[in-house]
Amino acid sequence: MLTAYLLARGGIRVTLLESHRDFDRDFRGDSLHPWTLELLDGLGLVDDLLALPHFAARWFRFHTPHGTIRTTDYGGLVSRFNYVALMPQARFLDFMAARAAELPGFELRLGAKVTGLLVDGETPQGAPAVTGVRYRDAGSGADHELRAPLVIGADGRFSRMRRLAGLAAEPLGASSDLLWFRLPRRDDDPPEADVDLYFGRHHYVGLLGGPTDWQIGYSLPKGGYPAVRSAGVEPIRRFVAEHVPWLADRVGALASMDDTTLLSVDISRVATWWRPGLLLLGDAAHVISPVGGNGILMAVQDAVAAANRLVPALRTGGAGPDVLAAIQADREPTIQAVQAQQVRTEKRVAKARERGKPMSPPAILRVVTAFPGFRVRAARRNAYGPNPPTLDTSMLVAQPQSSDSAA
């Protein structure tokens, strides 16, 4: 969505295909980091966006058998947005779609499910060049073709575009899955319970605050869902009531396993994010696990890095392999660093589970987080990520509508 918006702001004609008929569904991960809010501020969008219901999270804390560790303090950031805005992703997408619709070069087609790639001839790289897509209209059932000099696949961890293009993602190592559910939020809930992890033996739960509820992730071993489903919700209720006692009075809202959603945690990356005429972005190119809560941040930064190179290229003749390779080169070191940290965390969790010990962060963390400066530095790393891109705003000046386009 953001890539399409930025391309249209740069004068490029863009058609965005969304397979569902709306965005009104339950996403996992609703965090807009300070970097993202600063970006939207520079685009003149943030004030209207933050007028929508959201929850401002200042802290990130670990709750262990030995006490609470406050690891991150976004309030110490030198930024107008010294917090993480937790907002339902569907509302963010609706907002961006409405703003993009105001641009002359943007078109959104809902209920448009891509069924195949259009290709044309051989290229010096060997594979046929992608020249567009086939898609099926959910309303009429009719099949259509849409041709474009560039197709961007940004369709998530189970990317159909990646599969159609024959670009395989290599698993890097994930040992856990997460079972997500929601519990109601109340006015007297702890004010500092923003983004918290509660550790116990064999499991932990992660809490994300929201305007009206808590989004809760319950960890389980990779492949352990059948056993958890067979046991039902009662063990989950007991764990939450024991480790998050202020939620004990409402765990009954988790009535059955039908109230839960399994998120299969994955950490993987495609070796080459592109082929001639096609570019993968976000989780389609590199699956980010929920660890650190920065999957949306990485995808948004992909969009900026891509727009910086695609707008001038599409204005002047097209985005060839050199441009697509440069986008990957811009972003891959950051993605590698983030995923490497996530793999290390997964290994620590797996080792604790194998030993039957309570899951807990490294002991040294309690020492270093006692210093406020460390908590602010940790917030800065999470708020911006490694080597964040800077949007080239000069390309967003009014331009005649280009004859080139991206799909």
Q: Report the chain's mean pLDDT, rounded to a whole number.
A: 90
* Secondary structure class of 86 (helix, strand, coil): strand
Q: With 60 as the cut, is the pLDDT of residue 303 above it? A: yes
Angle at the Cα of 280 (from 283 to 277), degrees rounded to 5?
170
Structure token pair of residue 317: 């003749």
Structure token pair of residue 54: 């959201």
Query: Residue 284 corresponds to which amino acid?
Result: A
Average pLDDT over residues 351-362: 70
pLDDT of residue 397: 58
pLDDT of residue 249: 95
Which element (helix H / strand E) includes 375? Answer: helix 372-384
Residue 312 to residue 395: CA distance in whole angstroms: 7
Instruction: Tell me the pLDDT tens digit for each residue of 244-299.
Output: 999 999 999 999 999 999 988 899 999 999 999 999 999 999 999 887 778 999 99
Q: With 60 as the cut, is the pLDDT of residue 400 above it? A: no
pLDDT of residue 149: 94
Model pTM score: 0.91
Query: Residue 272 corresponds to which amino acid?
Result: T
Q: Going from the N-terminus, what domains does the chain have, and what CATH number goes with each? A: 2-55+81-173+267-354+388-406 (3.50.50.60), 176-221+223-263 (3.30.9.10)
Instruction: Tell me the pLDDT tens digit for each residue of 20-65.
Output: 999 887 766 688 999 999 999 999 999 999 999 998 999 888 888 7
Between 228 and 364, the higher pLDDT residue = 228
Residue 156 to residue 298: CA distance in whole angstroms: 12
**Eight-class DSSP state of 173:** -
pLDDT of residue 405: 63
What is the phi/psi pair of residue 357, to 5°? -95, 155
User: Helices 89-100 & 2-9, crossing angle to 10 degrees?
Assistant: 20
